[in-house]
């Protein structure tokens, strides 16, 4: 999938399984409201506080949200999910049963007409993420995953959920500055990018970077139900208020190339 049709709705960091019931309910209502409306949907990591697929068992939390995603997929809506640092152990259930295009690492392509790079953002901050980068490869190592699978789900799930609390709390300590800096470096290295989208920081953002590209972060559905709404003409940061077409918190129209050259 290298093209995500317009309008595209982007969310991130719901942390289902840790989030209160009303957070899960609001996300399910939001997804249900997109039927017949969305051209595509992006979940930019950490939909779950913890997600792991055993041979025949999955965590119980968030199954009604998975049902809402499956309904959208059945309607023919492309759904892209980027693995976050809390839900990077997915597989057949997300792909085959829920119909989600589940991916590790960044995605690059055309998103609602914008040349875009999508990435969850974990490990990108040069200073704040040094400790996490040291263990990231261990957490995603095939042997480590295979060994974890031998634990009974009733033991493994609370164990993993408890240990994940530290990274969730740590994500927003720099108030989003580290990821904005990473977005600026990404845009500078790839001048053809028009839109760079991260999650992870739990800090909603929509800014124009030097050179003209936009940086967007949908924020955290756990903390406040915000999302990005992208069409060929406009990128908007919105807050869910019961309608997917609610007022913009912040927005940028597509700038003419002549204007971008002056930035």
Using the 8-state DSSP alphabet, how is residue 224 labeled? S
Highest mean pLDDT among 163-172, 205-214, 239-248 belongs to 205-214
Q: pLDDT of 231-248, one tens digit each?
A: 999 999 999 999 888 889
44-81: b (≥16 Cβ within 10 Å) or e: bbbbbbbbbbbeeebbebbeebbebbbbbbeeebbbbb
Determine the pLDDT at residue 258: 39
Predicted confidence band of residue 257 (pLDDT cuts 50, 70, 90): very low
pLDDT bucket at 91, cuts 50 / 70 / 90? confident
Q: What is the pLDDT of residue 203?
A: 94
**Average pLDDT for residues 91-110, to the nearest whole number?**
91
Q: What is the pLDDT of residues 39-65, one digit of tens each?
A: 999 999 999 887 766 676 666 778 899
How does pLDDT run across 168-204, given as a tens digit for each residue? Answer: 554 567 788 889 999 999 999 999 999 999 999 999 9
DSSP string, 147-177: HHTTS-HHHHHHHHHHHHHHHHHHTTTTTTH
Over pLDDT 70: what percentage of the chain? 75
Q: Buried b vs exposed e over 188-213: b needs ≥16 C-beta within 10 Å?
A: eeeeebbbbbbbbbbbbbbbebeebb
Q: For domain 3-260, give the CATH superfamily.
A: Metallo-dependent phosphatases (3.60.21.10)
Which pLDDT does position 214 carry in this prediction? 98
Q: How far apart are CA 22 and CA 252, in angstroms?
A: 31
pLDDT tens-digit readout, 218-231: 999 999 999 999 99
- State residue 139's pLDDT score: 61
Selected residue with higher pLDDT from 135 and 199 = 199
Both tokens of 72, joined, read 């959208």
d(CA 208, CA 205): 10
Q: Which of 151, 116, 167, 90 is nearest to 10 (CA)?
A: 116
Mean pLDDT for 96-120 is 94
Distance between CA atoms of 102 and 110, rounded to whole angstroms?
17
Contact 177, 195 (CB under 8 A): no
Angle separating helix axes 21-33 and 63-74, nearest 10 degrees: 10
């Amino acid at each position: 999938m290298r093209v995500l049709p317009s309008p595209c709705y982007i969310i991130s960091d719901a942390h289902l399984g840790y989030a209160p019931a009303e957070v899960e309910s609001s996300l399910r209502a939001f997804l249900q409201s997109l039927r017949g409306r969305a051209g595509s949907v992006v979940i930019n990591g950490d939909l779950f506080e913890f997600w792991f697929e055993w041979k025949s068992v999955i965590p119980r939390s968030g199954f009604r949200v998975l049902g809402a995603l499956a309904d959208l997929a059945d309607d023919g809506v492309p759904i892209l999910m980027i693995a976050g640092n809390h839900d990077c152990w997915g597989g057949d259930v997300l792909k085959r049963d829920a119909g989600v295009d589940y991916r590790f690492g960044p995605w690059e392509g055309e998103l609602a007409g914008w040349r875009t790079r999508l990435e969850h953002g974990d490990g990108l901050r040069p200073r704040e993420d040094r400790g996490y980068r040291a263990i990231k490869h261990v957490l995603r190592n095939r042997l480590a995953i295979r060994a974890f699978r031998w634990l009974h789900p009733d033991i493994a799930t609370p164990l993993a959920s408890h240990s994940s609390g530290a990274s969730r709390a740590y994500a927003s300590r720099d108030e989003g500055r580290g990821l904005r800096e990473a977005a600026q470096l990404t845009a500078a290295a790839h001048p053809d990018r028009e839109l760079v989208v991260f999650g992870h920081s739990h800090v909603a953002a929509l800014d124009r970077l030097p050179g003209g590209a936009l940086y967007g972060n949908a924020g955290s559905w756990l903390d406040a139900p915000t999302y990005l709404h992208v069409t060929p003409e406009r990128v908007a940061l919105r807050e869910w208020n019961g309608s997917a077409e609610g007022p913009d918190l912040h927005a940028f129209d597509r700038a003419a190339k002549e204007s971008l050259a002056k930035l």
